[in-house]
Structure 1
Amino acid sequence: MSRFKALLLAGLMMFSCGPVLAQQPVPTLEKMTKTGVIKIGYTTRNIPFSFLDQKGEPTGYTIELCRRVVDLLKQKLSRPDIKIEFVERTASNRVVLLNDGSIDLECVSSTNTEERRRSVWFSYSHFITATRFVSLKSSGINTIADLAGRTVVVTKGSTNIAQLNTINREKSLYLALVQGVSINDAFEMVTQGKASAFVMDGILLASLVANAQNPENYVLSAEALSEPQPYGLMLRKDDVGFRDAVNDALLTIYKSGEINDIYNKWFMTDIGPDGVNLNTPMTGDLKAVFDNPVNLGG
């Protein structure tokens, strides 16, 4: 074989074995129209946002919100037969499941941050909460400074990890940081004395305490570890049509005032397996979000 033919053959082999361009995902609205299905991500014990009812069906504030969004998408697509397929997700795999098409819309309690927007997009905000910590009253931990030298737990895949690392470094707290698989797992570590405090979104901690066997044993920090952060429904990045359709649906729900009834149902009445009332009135900041939602999603 001549040198020219050998080089030509080598070039052809390199070309044929080169990297294959990633196939672009089908836009969600187009996929919904073709399949008659939308896949919604949920979790089982994230009261009041996403949990299972007595029949084992997903329910909660964001689940109800997403059901209403889907109702409005059905109207938009003239496809009243579109079905919801619920897919369980975890804090650590939710982005992967979104980007590989396993879910189309994540309907739990995900914080909308700049870092996350590098991988996914978010809808208009549906809740706002600051980061706090919960501890046992018997531990005598009341302030961030009291955490110095303690073991503190956060959940895998949460934004609270970066927040806590920053505070740990800035205040020289010398914390021992451990990660729980879920919020319930992390809370149990505090209950069992395996961690002195659990750092998480304030509303989720309040819910855990309210639903605990002995709520009087716990104290939620008055001191926040962050400014209030927005929650949004997560969806695939660069899916402009779907993002706009979801936001349009939320805008309809917000402007009609329907959001007030949905909010009060989950934050101001008895909910969950134990019928606990979180008694968390809508804040002025959240009402302002509903009155004038802003696209922070991408």
Structure 2
Amino acid sequence: MTAHSARRRISAAGAALVAGALLLTACGDDGDSKPPVDKSAPLYAKVPEKYQKAQVIKVGSDVAYAPNEYYDSDGKTIIGMDPDIAAAISKQLGIQLQFKNQSFDGLITSLNSKRIDLIMSSMSDTKDRQNGVDKDGKKAGPGVDFVDYFNAGTSILVQKGNPKGIKTLDDLCGQTVALQKGTTQEEMANKQQEKCAAAGKGKIDLLTFDKDTDALLQLKQGRSVADMNDFPVAAYNAQTANNGGDFEVVGEQLEAGPYGVALRKDDTQLRDVVKEALENIVKSGEYTKILEARKLTQGAVTQIAVNGG
């Protein structure tokens, strides 16, 4: 299972608003600048005093996971779904959320040691993370709280036009499927093998590779009928490969679970105001516009939950 698997355009005017807010929040991820606060923002008064004084909320993120968080072509500006949503939260709080690039495996440690204030990094809300339990089931820390804002599961990616008519996992029986080895998608495909056999259908010819780019090449060249990947990544590949001419996503997400903003257990006031900010942008429609801009509406939530994973 890969690290990210485990963690599990709008109108011109709308795009300009999102981009403008994004530049304020995501530039200079390792800087210590203190941008001006907006005391007239809807939720400024509810922001903990220490963050009002700091004039910035530091966001830890592993900036290597397009389309959710990645560097723009200038190599400096952090863009993606998470920075877009963070920009909208910033407008609600009146205090800028400033991204800091870090290794995914060290994010929770950085959070609990107060080097960062929250995490937005396509991190799946799980009971183990809530309870501070490591991969071996041992207590490894105090755990974190999550404010859930997106659902992500596995998606099936096929050639543009879906020439084989693939819609569900059952349609993969008797077919050749290429994907990245060691992922949750490989586990899912192996489980599907049992269902294919029980249904008396042909076995899946599974081709696995170290990199998903190699699996996508097999699909592009017609040597497989499908690739399987995390929904946001699959959607991004469908949008960007050959300017959207190579692939498309079919069917619904499989085994979807929530991404959450992670916060320290004792930082309940910040947790609650972030939750309220997210609720506000959902109600206003700004949340939907952000997801529409990146063609990620299939992962939208209608209610913001705390520790819903």
Once the two structures are TM-superposed, the CA of residue 153 in structure 1 deviates from its matched residue by: 0.9
- 2:148–2:307 Cα contact (<8 Å) kept: yes
> What is the CA–CA distance in structure 1 between the aligned matches of 2:240 and 2:54, rounded to whole Å?
39
Once the two structures are TM-superposed, the CA of residue 211 in structure 1 deviates from its matched residue by: 0.8
Q: Are residues 1:248 and 2:270 paired?
A: no
Counterpart selection for 1:57 from 56, 62, 77: 77
**AA of the residue aligned to 1:189:** D
- 1:41–1:89 Cα contact (<8 Å) kept: yes
Secondary structure class of the residue paired with 2:114 = coil
Alignment partner, residue 264 of structure 1? 289
Calculate the aligned-residue CA RMSD, in Å. 4.1
Counterpart selection for 1:39 from 53, 58, 61: 58
Once the two structures are TM-superposed, the CA of residue 39 in structure 1 deviates from its matched residue by: 1.2
> What is the CA–CA distance in structure 2 between the aligned matches of 1:215 and 1:261, rounded to whole Å?
25
Q: Are residues 1:239 and 2:286 paired?
A: no
**AA of the residue aligned to 2:127:** E
State the percentage of identical aligned residues.
Answer: 24
Greater Rg over alpha carbons, structure: 1
1:242–1:66 distance in 2 versus 1, CA, 3 Å: same
Tell me the alpha carbon deviations over residues 155-179 of structure 1, each in whole angstroms, 9 at most, x when there is no partner.
Answer: x8xxxx4464255246446967666
Alignment partner, residue 153 of structure 2? 130
Q: Are residues 1:216 and 2:239 paired?
A: no
**AA of the residue aligned to 1:133:** I
**AA of the residue aligned to 1:249:** A
- 2:70–2:78 Cα contact (<8 Å) kept: yes
Once the two structures are TM-superposed, the CA of residue 297 in structure 1 deviates from its matched residue by: 5.0
> What is the CA–CA distance in structure 2 between the aligned matches of 1:252 and 1:214, rounded to whole Å?
34
Secondary structure class of the residue paired with 1:67 = helix
- 2:112–2:264 Cα contact (<8 Å) kept: yes
Once the two structures are TM-superposed, the CA of residue 205 in structure 1 deviates from its matched residue by: 0.7
1:140–1:107 distance in 2 versus 1, CA, 3 Å: same
1:41–1:200 distance in 2 versus 1, CA, 3 Å: farther
Once the two structures are TM-superposed, the CA of residue 133 in structure 1 deviates from its matched residue by: 3.1
Alignment partner, residue 87 of structure 1? 100
> What is the CA–CA distance in structure 1 between the aligned matches of 2:308 and 2:48, rounded to whole Å?
18
> What is the CA–CA distance in structure 1 between the aligned matches of 2:265 and 2:239, rounded to whole Å?
36
* Mapping 1:53-202, distance limit 5 Å: 53=72, 55=74, 56-74=76-94, 84-119=97-132, 120-125=144-149, 127-134=150-157, 142=166, 144=169, 145-146=172-173, 152-153=179-180, 161-162=183-184, 164-165=186-187, 168-169=190-191, 171-172=193-194, 180=211, 186=212, 188-193=213-218, 198-202=227-231
1:267–1:162 distance in 2 versus 1, CA, 3 Å: same
**AA of the residue aligned to 1:60:** G
> What is the CA–CA distance in structure 1 between the aligned matches of 2:116 and 2:209, rounded to whole Å?
29
1:239–1:265 distance in 2 versus 1, CA, 3 Å: closer
Long gaps (5+) in structure 2: 1-46, 133-143, 195-203
Please, what TM-score do these two structures have when normalized by structure 2?
Answer: 0.57
Secondary structure class of the residue paired with 1:109 = coil
How many positions carry a matched residue from both structures?
234
Q: Are residues 1:294 and 2:305 paired?
A: yes
**AA of the residue aligned to 1:37:** V
Once the two structures are TM-superposed, the CA of residue 71 in structure 1 deviates from its matched residue by: 4.1
Once the two structures are TM-superposed, the CA of residue 109 in structure 1 deviates from its matched residue by: 2.8
- 1:141–1:147 Cα contact (<8 Å) kept: no
> What is the CA–CA distance in structure 1 between the aligned matches of 2:51 and 2:228, rounded to whole Å?
38
* Mapping 1:269-284, distance limit 5 Å: 278=295, 282=297
Please, what TM-score do these two structures have when normalized by structure 1?
Answer: 0.59
